[in-house]
């Protein structure tokens, strides 16, 4: 059985969603990074000390995007295209999300809710929102169908998790295509199960 170390409200959320999507049995060990006992337990299996972390037999794997690619290829190959061009697009949108949109969304989060009030800067919030809007406009133009490719893939989970967080924290208001795409993703039973909601 897969062992999954993670915590809610972190990048582990996209891996939790992916685990529910592929439908394999797993044990979810929730880690509170502020709890010394939890931290020590995580360091025993992952010296890097970060979540998510996945153990599947002899494989030990960190980084949510890498984990999701592995889960798709290992357990639901239809979520990872075999065509080299389509596969490249999966990589493109997954990496685009975590290297472009995610840092700017986190920038807004830091200066609206994470940092102590005296350290928050309105200029950082505004700059982050402007960048998020620019990136989400790219996504808006790209979404000519229901999903990023011609069908649902791991790219939708990876990029969708980032876009969902950015919109939910008020970093950006999605256009109609992105909003409809997010609604489709939130409507998947795997999404609800990863949140602990009834399907």
Q: Express each pLDDT in 135-165 by its tens digit.
A: 999 999 999 999 999 999 999 999 999 999 9
185's enclosing H/E stretch is helix 176-186
Q: Which domains does the chain have, with CATH numbers?
A: 2-78 (3.40.30.10), 82-189 (1.20.1050.10)
Q: Are 72 and 79 in contact (CB under 8 A)?
A: yes
Q: Reply yes or no on whether the pLDDT at 71 is more than 60.
A: yes
Tens-digit pLDDT profile for residues 85-126: 999 999 999 999 999 999 999 999 999 999 999 999 999 999
């Amino acid at each position: 059985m897969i062992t999954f170390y993670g915590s809610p409200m972190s990048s582990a959320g996209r891996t939790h969603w992916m685990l529910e999507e592929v439908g394999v049995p797993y044990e979810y060990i929730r880690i509170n990074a502020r709890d010394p006992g939890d931290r020590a337990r995580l360091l025993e299996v992952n010296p890097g000390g970060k979540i998510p972390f996945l153990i599947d037999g002899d494989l030990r794997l960190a980084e949510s995007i890498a984990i999701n690619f592995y889960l798709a290829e290992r357990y639901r190959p239809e979520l990872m295209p075999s065509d080299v061009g389509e596969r490249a697009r999966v990589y493109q949108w997954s990496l685009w999300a975590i290297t472009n949109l995610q840092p700017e969304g986190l920038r807004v989060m830091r200066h609206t809710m994470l940092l102590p009030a005296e350290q928050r800067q309105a200029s950082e919030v505004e700059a982050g929102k402007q960048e998020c809007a620019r990136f989400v406009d790219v996504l808006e133009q790209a979404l000519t169908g229901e999903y990023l490719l011609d069908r649902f893939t791991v790219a939708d989970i990876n990029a969708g998790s980032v876009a969902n967080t950015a919109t939910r924290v008020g970093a950006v208001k999605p256009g109609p295509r992105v909003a409809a795409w997010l609604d489709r993703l939130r409507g998947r039973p795997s999404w609800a199960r990863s949140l602990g909601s009834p399907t």
